[in-house]
Amino acid sequence: MAKKQIKKENLNTRPPIVVVLGHVDHGKTTLLDTIRKTNVAAKESGGITQHIGAYQVTISPRGESSSRENLKDDRAQALRTITFIDTPGHEAFGQMRSRGANVADIAIIVVAADEGVKPQTKEALDIVKQTDIPYIVALNKIDKPNAQVDKVKRELADSGVLLEGWGGDVSNVPISAKSGQGIPELLDLILLLADIHELKAEPNVLASGVVIEAHKDSQRGTVVTFLVRQGTLKVSSFVAVGSQYGRIRSLENFLGQAIDQAGPSTPVLISGLSEVPDVGETFSEVASEKEAQEFMNKEKQRRKFIMRIGGENPEVIKKIIIRADVVGSLEAITETLSKISSQIVGLDIISAETGNLGENDLKIAAASKASIIAFRVKVPPLVVQMAERLGVRIVASDIIYELVDGIRVEMEAAVPPEIIRTDLGVVKILATFKQEGSKQIVGGEVLKGPIKGNTMTDLERGGHHMGQGKITSVQMNKVAVDEVPQGKQCGLLVELKGINILPGDVLKIFVEERNSRPLL
């Protein structure tokens, strides 16, 4: 596909693209709504924001939104635009990421100050760490009477996120998405990060970008939201998306207004495709219908090899990317891999193409936690170094059975062990003493025993499971002992992340034995 070469001197500054992630009910939607409502430009233009999966706001230097059309003085020169991706959540963003789509420049992790770090918070943090994009922690609901900002910051530190002022460099802003408190500061911080990272794009090349949303409309047919990353998309352009192509019939901005073109960082609703593409698919403008047809044929060939191998409901999925010298090799490798049948570990071939291994393959592998099979293709030293840095395993060989053996070894390593739990005893907490990070010293009475150190524990409060941790050591009369019998009082050193143990809590102490299982 012929493309104009992107030249450094032709790059222009573009708006930052921001994704908002966080635990359910921590205020993501309210934050986006509050930011959207402050965009005076949208109100004064008479447009009503439509849900197309992304929108833009225009920001003044003071962090206040203003109308670009109505500011005719020198201040208009300083107005800035931010693009927000309004995705349904982590799953959609993860789909884009796993497809190798370069979606967002900056992430905002919303954490409720009255609830703290939750499972989806950790999931969101894992996602942004893997994408290696800068992120801001927005400590929301600070106006609630039960907000505990320092406690949340400590929980974040226990999760490996060190905020500014807490020994780290992760930016954070206390906000109330409901009242708008802290929102101007958050927007200013986004623009500061954008300036630091010097976000640029070439507007005068064939357009390319990512599918944000797509659906069938009863009147207009297939409508798709594109987020343009490079180039300028225009009406009547040919675009290739996945294994289909089409000609752009119409373009609409997030206000529902018809436009002729959309430049870098712009979300735009398009019509002209026949089928609904997947969220996270990349699109590319092509110069002619002939090139579009060639692109589609190549994509159909590539997708032929994407498959799942193994049982219907495997316990673990191992993802694989294959790069080979010719199509015949792809066919031979996938056929040989299909003979490795396991009910425990399934194989997902997420990409299979011909050609040498490149940096983008590694980015996709790292984002998807996939291993790479390289058959009779070059693996440059720089690619090997990058793979080591990203933690991506490459199995390379010119002999198919050696590749398959390498994958089999990975599958065997992925088999979850058989866990046998043995309950030891129960301790009721009578007092709490010292705490440093996740380590807490507590005192209690052994209701059932004996108990000992170097064991696991479930923490229960009022009959509810609160978390799981480790009993590092036990003491009687301030002397370390191997075990404490039933009916005695003792001191315990407990490691438990994110939860403070309270008097009246119950520790249920146990040990686990892990036995390896064969690949069945």
pTM for the whole structure = 0.64
Cα 381 to Cα 91, 359, 384, 397, 406, distances in angstroms: 34, 11, 5, 15, 20
Backbone angles phi, psi at 112, to 5 degrees: -70, 130
HSE-up of 79 (CA within 13 Å, CB side)?
Answer: 20
**Coil, strand or helix: which one is 118?**
coil
- What confidence tier does 243 reach under pLDDT thresholds 50, 70, 90? confident
DSSP for 4-65 reads PPP-GGG-EE---EEEEEESTTSSHHHHHHHHHHT-HHHHHTT-----SSEEEEEE-TTS-B
Give the pLDDT of residue 62: 55
- DSSP letter assigned to residue 239: E
The pLDDT of residue 308: 78
Contact 504, 459 (CB under 8 A): no
Mean pLDDT of 97-120: 80
Question: 432 is written with which tokens?
Answer: 């709490």
Instruction: Indicate the Cα dihedral angle 105, 111, 113, 116, nearest 10°.
Output: -140
Amino acid at 507: L
User: DSSP secondary-structure letter at 497?
Assistant: T
Q: Is 80 exceeded by the pLDDT of residue 188? A: yes
Token pair recorded at residue 455: 């064991």
DSSP string of 306-372, one letter each residue: -EEES-SS-SEEEEEEEEESSHHHHHHHHHHHTT---SSEEEEEEEEEES---HHHHHHHHHHTEEE
The pLDDT tens digits of the residues spanning 453-481 come to: 999 999 998 888 888 999 999 999 999 99
Contact 262, 268 (CB under 8 A): yes
Cα(54)–Cα(46) distance, integer angstroms: 18
What lies within 8 Å, CB to CB, of 265 at 6+ separation is 14, 15, 16, 17, 81, 83, 199, 201, 227, 228, 229
pLDDT at position 21: 86
Query: 240 near 292, Cβ under 8 Å?
Result: yes
What confidence score (pLDDT) does residue 396 get? 93
Residue given tokens 């030293």 in the structure block: 381
Alpha-carbon radius of gyration of the chain: 27
- 339-364, pLDDT tens digit by residue? 887 888 888 888 888 889 988 889 88
Q: Among 443, 498, 402, 436, which Cα is nearest to 23's?
A: 498
Containing H/E element for 207? none
Percentage of residues of the chain with pLDDT beyond 70? 89
pLDDT tens digits, residue range 304-327? 777 777 777 888 889 999 999 888
pLDDT at residue 42 is higher than 70: no
Average pLDDT (135-162) is 90
Residue-level pLDDT at 39: 53
All domains of the chain in start order, with CATH: 17-198 (3.40.50.300), 208-299 (2.40.30.10), 304-414 (3.40.50.10050), 418-515 (2.40.30.10)
* Residue 140 main-chain phi, psi, to 5 deg: -90, 165
Q: Which two tokens stand for residue 263?
A: 């430049």
Q: Which two tokens stand for residue 214?
A: 């797509």
Task: Looking at 166-304, list the stretches that DSSP marks H as alpha helix, in order from N- to C-terminal side.
Answer: 183-197, 289-303
